[in-house]
Amino acid sequence: MKLALYQGPSPSGNLEAAFETIEGKLLAAAAAGADMVVFPELFLPGYNQRQLHPSLAQPQGGPWEAQLAVLAKSTGCGLTIGWAERDGAQLYNAASTFDRHGRRLAHYRKLQLFGEMEQSVFIPGADYELFDLDGIRAGLLICYDVEFAPHCGALKKRGAELLLVPTANPAGFEHVSDVLLPARAVETNMTIAYANYCGSDSGLTFGGSSILLGPDGGILVKAGKTEALLIADLDGCADIDPTRISTQYHDFREAPGRHDQL
């Protein structure tokens, strides 16, 4: 399976431009043989749009999801994308995955809300999401979620082999791509796809550095600080030298002492 990551500027509330970008990147990725494109966090309507999230957020099954399904089917390329979801009076920082036939495979609500903007607008999700993607057991996380080893470990325990992670990581936090994500991949033996923004949105500058990591923590493809459409073939992960795959997930044992003494 070929997986693509789109790193680009936030639509900043311009929904017409957002859907034009989505369609264009799906077409380009499909032409290169990709099966799926991962877009950044809250791409609809844009990440740092505190005032627009409440007014533009949509329910599951609404016009945004319907249009995304049509685009996936018409281009022949699946997508995973972050968006602002409304459920009654509550707002969620959410992400959905559609396959190349336009079928929604998964929907997830971010567990770890980051910073004052997210915490003042959204409420946290309550559960993990796993699904089958072309024979691969996959899970969804959003940005800050993947920085927590227990979340990645919980998905691994449930059988995940691949994590798709829309993100909006600010400049100055490049250690996430450089240090934390390789550690998460090695710890769990999972492939991790992390799609970030570049540029800025309402005064917030993003760090780029979108990355796709193999289960040994090796970089399959990585972006710089500018717009990019990255594509990598995950089939190559099967050829990784087994001695490079960590066994710590299987080797881990709890300390036999009393935990309440720590």
Question: Would the pTM of this model clear 0.85, i.e. be above it?
Answer: yes
Interval 101-119: pLDDT, tens: 999 999 999 999 999 999 9
Which of 41, 85, 129, 161 does the annotation list as catalytic? 41
SS3 161: coil
Residues 118 and 223: their CA atoms lie apart, in Å, by 25
Question: 137 has which bridge partners?
Answer: 132
- All domains of the chain in start order, with CATH: 2-254 (3.60.110.10)
Whether 152 sits among the annotated catalytic residues: the reply is no
Whether 41 sits among the annotated catalytic residues: the reply is yes
Query: Around Cβ 194, how many Cβ atoms within 10 Å?
Result: 30
Residues 71 and 193: their CA atoms lie apart, in Å, by 21
In this model, does residue 234 exceed pLDDT 80? Answer: yes
Interval 56-70: pLDDT, tens: 999 999 999 999 999
Whether 110 sits among the annotated catalytic residues: the reply is yes
Residues 19 and 188: their CA atoms lie apart, in Å, by 34
What are the tokens at 220?
Answer: 């399959």
Which of 65, 118, 143, 147 does the annotation list as catalytic? 143
Which of 25, 110, 156, 222 does the annotation list as catalytic? 110
State which H helix or E strand residue 130 sits in: strand 130-133
pLDDT tier for residue 139 given thresholds of 50, 70 and 90: very high
Residue with tokens 């999230």: 53
Sequence-distant (≥ 6) Cβ neighbours of residue 248 within 8 angstroms: 186, 187
Task: Please state the rounded mean pLDDT for residues 143-149.
Answer: 98
CA geometry: angle at 225 spanning 220 and 227, to 5°?
85
Instruction: Name which residue leads in pLDDT, 147 or 242.
Output: 147
Q: Name the residue among 196, 197, 241, 195 with its Cα closest to residue 215.
A: 241
Q: Positive or negative CA dihedral for 194, 198, 201, 207?
A: positive
Residues 28 and 23: their CA atoms lie apart, in Å, by 9
